[in-house]
Every structure is written in structure tokens, then in C-alpha cells.
Amino acid sequence: MNSPVRTLRTPEGVAIELQLAGGGDRVAAFILDQLVIAGTLLLLTIAAVSALASVRQGFEPVGIIWIVGGFVLRNFYFTLFEAGWRGATPGKRAMKIRVAARDGGRLGFASVAARNMMRELEVFLPLSLLAQGISGEQVDRWTAGAGVLWVAVFVLFPWLNRDRLRAGDLVAGSWVVRAPRPALLPDMGDRGLARLVRCAFTDAQLDAYGVYELQTLERVLREDDPAAIDVTAMTIRRRIGWTGSEPPSAFLQAYYAALRSRQERNLLFGRRRANKSDGSTPPSRDRLDRAAASAKPP
Amino acid sequence: MIAADLALTQSARRFRAEREPVWIKLDELIGRAEKRGLKDLDAGELAELPVLYRATLSSLSIARDTSLDAALVAYLEALAARAYFFVYGTRARVLAEARRFFAWGWPTAAQSLWRETLVALTLLLVGAVAGWSLCAGDSSWFSTFVPGELAGGRDPSATAGMLRDGLYERGGHGAQGLGLFSAWLFQHNAGIAILCFALGFALGVPTMLLLLQTGGMLGAILWLYGSKGLLPNIVGWLMVHGSTELLAIVLAGGAGLAIARAIALPGAATRRAALGRAGRMAGAQMLGVVVMLFVAGGLEGYARQLITSDAVRWSIATGMGLFWLVYLYLPRRRSS
């Protein structure tokens, strides 16, 4: 969850937040894609062999399809998928990440092709050097070792810059971002609102917490784990000195609804309290304080 | 609980209730487009997409300022991003894109990279001259430029007769395996060309070395046949496909050098911006290189084995070379 966030300013003037994809996700997606490629090559080979067995004279077309198909698969699998509407290969889609242009514009086919041809330098050259270094053929081990060290710069590139760009991303003007597809969840305040009639919280009780605690409470209510609900309810009761006898989940729903109404109202007045230790009495703060608080990034 | 708070809560609920249908509709359209492409949406839905997107964007900015429902804001954030990529990120259909590439994109890229391509050509020629003159001075250099397995007996100790026969035999492969041979040549050469381009990122030094080496090999082979009085014959044999293949290698080298140049000398732009621009041009050039190598593979596999007349070989070689040069470097009108 704590991946770096970059903003994309849309032509409409609203900044959309994009999270950079994590290194682990990208490596996993790459491995998945290599498996898909290997599987497809295997199927292609099986199909070629069985076609050979059935049509005796036609060795050549089968061989051509096999060689050219293999080449296209190895070199253009990534390009074809990433240049498409999803901006993602099947592996990237499975890891919920995608490729996007850093300037927010269109990523052309040529840029995507350049991005993926660079992989020759970042993955396949190091691997072949490594293989040569191990087998000791053609070049001696020291030469191969020096080669590995040199290409290591390109392999480690994504860890050497703040936008996690690999060499191909730099060349294509792209980056890899997370592409989550969350569902629209019900508002957790809805159920608590009905209970508010019976639970009249005082202002002091509602000023005990800030946005951070409110959203943590939201998560607890969504996950709906009885043990967590009990502990949370007990902690809040103690802190605000609540003596009512409602069951824990009913109490939490009511308190969440009240707390959110209160804080959203404060928000309209430009008061955003980040967490419980952010200023002790928010309503009495003077304007200067408030201005400073609202200038702070959320 | 203050009454005003409750009233506000009511308005927050109304905000969601009023706009929710728009989000759900957009979510549904984008979900379908992500699965099966924009062609899955009918004309009405396509027209609706930008409208729904803008409405959702405005919901997002309101929700950010007024709502503390973390799940809702995260949902809108993700939905707006997904829709953004469809509204601003998708391109025309594949066929239209391909036509544009051949009519405009590739030649324009080649023309904008003419300096780098010229440098690559110079390196190849310098290599060739060096290969020729070194071998002419001392024939033991030949094995340095042309490794034994590639030469296959075509070395200074071979007689003119043997070399001549090699040029005109109808392929040791027989007409049967020519297509396969072409396909193999294509994938082998294209792999090298792509590597030549990618190495541009290593400041282009390996790219230059590859070009010099290829030139050296060319020079050494030309010298070998030249020294036996077979120069016109070898040129015909090599250039049937060579005019296409060598040009493709030079273009790939030029693309690699363009990347190197953007890293080393970005000029007034930032390094990232310069690289992005160079990458777009070089990428287009490289797609063209792959196409050329496909053609070259066919010429090498078929034409060279089947055509044994020097005159026809020379005319194919010249014709292909001229065709590529005119196609790539004839000035184009600026379009879109």
C-alpha cells in the first residue's frame, strides 16, 4: 500500500493519483509472461510436429511458421499487448499493473517497441554472459565476470531512480503503475445513522479522534472480524468514557456515523485533523492555525 | 450530535445517491472495454464515455474535499484513472495505425535520424576499408575478421575455382529447404539488429564496435574474392540481399546511436525528455529494420540460391537499395 504516488494532471485540470508498481509485482508479471511465452512456444512446437506427421511433404511451411512465430513471440509478445488498449501483458494484468506514458499522453506502438527491445540489454544479454561465465566457453571467466558487472548497471536500473524506471521505460517515456479495479462498497455510515437517535455523543467525545482513526475504524467495520470489533469498541469506550450498554458492533456503527458527520463538517470549514494527536481542541483553534493545518498535505 | 452535522450527513449521502448511477455506468463500460476492447461499445456508449468520465472526475474532486469515506475515494480514484487511459490513451485501429506507420511514421523517423545513420554508415565503411587493407597487407588477418566456422573453407588458401563454385552452386540446401533457411536467417539477423539497437543505451560504444566488426568482415571477404579476381561476382552474390540487410544494420546502428546521443548529449532538453523523443524515433526505425530484415532473409534464402546470373543479381541488388533509399529519404509532406 505504501508505494510511491505520482500525480497525473488531466486536461480537465484534476490531478489523478497513480501508484507506481512495486518491483516484486513487476518481476512476478515478467516471470508469468515468460511462462506464457514458453507454454505457447511448446504448443506451437507440438502443433508443428503433429502437422508434420500428418502432411508428409509439407515440412517447410511448418518449419517457417515455427521459426517466424517463435521470433515474433519472443520479440513482440510484450509490444503487442502493451500497445493495446489494456497497456498490459497477461502477466501484468494478473498482477494488476500496467504501462502508461509518463506525460499522460498516448504511448505509440514505436515507443512500446523500443521499450521492449531494450530488454535485450537488460535481461537476455546478462543471462547469456552469465551462462558463458559459468560454462567457461568462448571467453574466460574474468572477461565474462567483468561483462556481468557492467550489465548489472542496467539490470539494477529500476532501483537506482525514484520513478522505478528501467532502461526501456526511459527510452519509451513510460512508467509502470498499479491498475487496481476496486469495487464500489457500501457506505459504512449508513447503518450507524439509524442508531444515532439512541446514542447522543457529546462534542468532546467526537473530538477524541482524527481522520486516521476514522478511516481505521472504517476498515475494522468493513472487515467485520468479531475479535477486532470487540477490542476496538472497548478501546473507544474507554477513551471517550462511554457507559451505554449497546453491543460492540452497534456502538461502533453509531460512533463511526457520528464521528464522520462531525469530521466532514469540520472539513467544510477547512479543519482537517490528521489524527488524535493533531492539536487537542480543534474547534477553538485560531484562524492562523487552521490555515497552516489546511496547507499541510493530507 | 448537532442537528447541523446530521443535515450535512444527509447532503453527503445525497451526493453519493445522486452520482452513483454515473459511476456504475462508467465502471460497466470501462470493464467491458478492458475485457474486449473499445469495439465492444456501440456508438451511443462511445459518445457517452467522455461525458461519464468528466462527471466522475468532478465527483472525485468533490469527494476528495468533502468525504472521509476512504473506500469511496479510492474507488473513484481508480475508476477515473481507468477511464482516463481509455479517453486519452487509446489509439486508432491497428490497420489504420499500420498504414500510417508505412506511409509516414517510418520515413519520418529515418529522416530525423539521418545524422546518426550517417555515422553508422561511416563506421561500417571504415570497418570495411580497414578489413580490406589489413588483409591486403598480411593475409593472416583474414581469420581475425572472419571466424573459421563462418568462413567454411573460404579462406586465403582456397583456389579461385573453389571460391567461384561456391558462388554459383544452387545452394547446398536444395530448393526444398530455402524457405526454412530464409526464416532462420531472418530471425538470426533481426536478433543481432535488436541487440545492436539496445546496446545504444550503453552509450553506444558496443554498437559502434559491432558496426566496425561487421564492416571488417565485409572488407575481408571482399578482399579475399577480389584477390582472386572475383570482385564483381562476390558483390553480386553478397548484395542480392546485402543491399537490404546492410542498410538495415546501418539503420539499427543509427537507432542505437540516437539513444546514446540522447543520453550523452541531451542538449537543451532534460535527459529524460531527450531520451523519450529519441526512443520514439528509434523505435519506429527499429520496427522498419525488422521488416527490412524479413525481406532480406527472403532474398538471401531464395533469390541468391536460385538466381545464378550476375546481371540479375546486380540489378536486384541495385533495385532494392534504390527502392529503400527513395522510400525512406524522399521528403514527405507533414501530416498530422
Mean pLDDT of the A155-173 span: 87
**Domain-by-domain residue ranges, chain B?**
3-90, 96-329
Look at B53 and B152; give whichever has higher pLDDT: B53
pLDDT at A121: 81
Q: Which of residues 186-245 of B touch A (CB under 8 A)?
A: 186-187, 190-191, 194-195, 197-199, 201-202
The answer to whether the CB atoms of B176 and A265 lie below 8 A apart is no
B-chain residues within 8 Å CB-CB of A118?
Answer: 198, 201
CA distance B211 to A88: 34
Q: Which residues contact A188 (CB under 8 A, 6 or more apart)?
A: A218, A221, A222, A253, A256, B69, B71
Considering only the beta carbons, identify the residue of A86, A170, A187 that sits closest to B69. Answer: A187
pLDDT at B246: 92
- Residue A286: which H helix or E strand, with range? none
| Banded pLDDT at A248 (limits 50, 70, 90) | confident
The per-residue pLDDT for range B205-251, each reduced to its tens digit, is 889 998 998 899 899 989 988 888 888 888 888 888 889 999 999 99
**Structure confidence by residue, pLDDT tens digits, A257-298:** 888 888 888 888 888 888 888 764 444 444 445 555 555 444
pLDDT of residue B212: 92
Q: How far is A238 from chain B (nearest CA, A)?
A: 19
> How much is the pLDDT for B335?
57
Distance to chain B for A203, nearest Cα, Å: 7
Per-residue pLDDT tens digits for B82-96? 999 888 876 656 778
Find the CB nearest A60 among B176, B201, B202: B176
Looking at residue A86, its pLDDT comes to: 80
The residues near B8 (Cβ < 8 Å, ≥ 6 apart) are A261, A264, A265, A268
Nearest to B91 by CA among A176, A267, A82: A82
Å between B39 CA and nearest CA of chain A: 11
For residues A274 and A112, which has the higher predicted lDDT (pLDDT)? A112
Q: Residues A181-216: pLDDT tens digits?
A: 888 888 887 777 766 666 778 888 888 888 888 889
pLDDT exceeds cutoff 90 at B54: yes
List CB contacts (< 8 A) between A183 and chain B. Answer: 75
Minimum mean pLDDT range among A60-64, A274-278, B37-41? A60-64
Q: In chain A, whose CA is at the least distance from the CA of B199?
A: A121
Taking a C-beta distance cutoff of 8 angstroms, is the pair B82, B49 a contact? Answer: no
Q: Which residue of chain A comes nearest to B280, CA vs CA?
A: A111
Interval B121-180: pLDDT, tens: 999 999 999 999 999 888 888 888 887 666 666 777 777 877 887 777 655 444 556 777
Confidence of residue B334 (pLDDT cuts 50, 70, 90): low
pTM above 0.90, yes or no: no
pLDDT band for position A1 (cuts 50, 70, 90): very low
3-state secondary structure B238-305: HHHHHHHHHHHHHHHHHHHHHHHHHHHCCCCCCHHHHHHHHHHHHHHHHHHHHHHHHHHHHHHHHHHH
**pLDDT value, residue A197:** 62
Shortest Cα distance from A77 to chain B (angstroms)? Answer: 14
Higher pLDDT, A232 or A135: A232
Q: What is the pLDDT of residue B179?
A: 73
Angle ∠(B304,B306,B308) on CA atoms, nearest 5: 75
Task: Report the pLDDT value the prediction gives residue B66, as an integer from 0 to 100.
Answer: 85
Of the candidates A16, A85, A109, the beta carbon closest to that of B90 is on A85
Within 193-222 of A, beta carbons closer than 8 Å to B belong to 193, 196, 200-201, 203, 211, 214-215, 218-219, 222
Tell whether A1 lies on the interface with B, counting CB pairs under 8 A.
no
The verdict on A283 touching B (C-beta cutoff 8 Å) is no
Cell of A84: 493495446
- Residues of A with Cβ-Cβ distance to B202 under 8 angstroms: 121, 150, 154
Residue B52 pLDDT greater than 70, yes or no? yes
Q: Quote the mean pLDDT of chain B.
A: 85
Amino acid occupying residue A17: E
For residue A146, pLDDT beyond 50: yes
Query: CB-CB: which of A219, A222, A264 is closest to B68?
Result: A264
What was the pLDDT predicted at A287? Answer: 47
Q: What is the pLDDT of residue A298?
A: 44
Comparing CB atoms, the residue among B183, B197, B278 nearest residue A117 is: B197
- pLDDT category, A94, cuts 50, 70, 90? very high
> Which residue among A10, A172, A214 places its CB closest to the CB of B84?
A10
Any idea which of A109-113, A136-140, A293-297, B1-5 has the lowest mean pLDDT? A293-297
- The answer on pLDDT for B329 being more than 50 is yes
CA distance, residue A158 to nearest chain B CA (Å): 14
The complex's ipTM works out to 0.82
Going by pLDDT thresholds of 50, 70 and 90, the confidence category of residue B12 is confident
Q: How far is CA B4 from CA A165, A285, B67, B160, B250, in A?
A: 50, 20, 16, 104, 75
Q: Do A171 and B276 touch (CB under 8 A)?
A: yes
Q: What is the structure's pLDDT at A284?
A: 44
Alpha-carbon distance A227 to nearest alpha carbon in chain B (angstroms):
22
Task: Report yes or no: A152 at the B interface, CB cutoff 8 Å.
Answer: no
Q: Is B68 close to A188, i.e. CB distance below 8 A?
A: no
Q: What percent of chain A has pLDDT over 90?
A: 14
Task: Provide the chain B residues 127-186 that lie in CB contact (below 8 A) with chain A.
Answer: 176-177, 179-180, 182-184, 186
CA gap A214, A263 in Å, rounded: 9
Which pLDDT value is given to residue A201? 82
Tell me whether B73 touches chain A (CB under 8 Å): no
Interval B17-30 mean pLDDT: 92
Whether residue B100 lies within 8 A of chain A, CB to CB, comes out as no
Q: Nearest C-alpha of chain A: how many angstroms from B230? A: 33
The three cell numbers of residue B132 are: 580490406
Measured between CB atoms, does A143 come within 8 Å of chain B? Answer: no
β strands within chain A, DSSP E: 5-9, 15-19, 97-101, 174-178
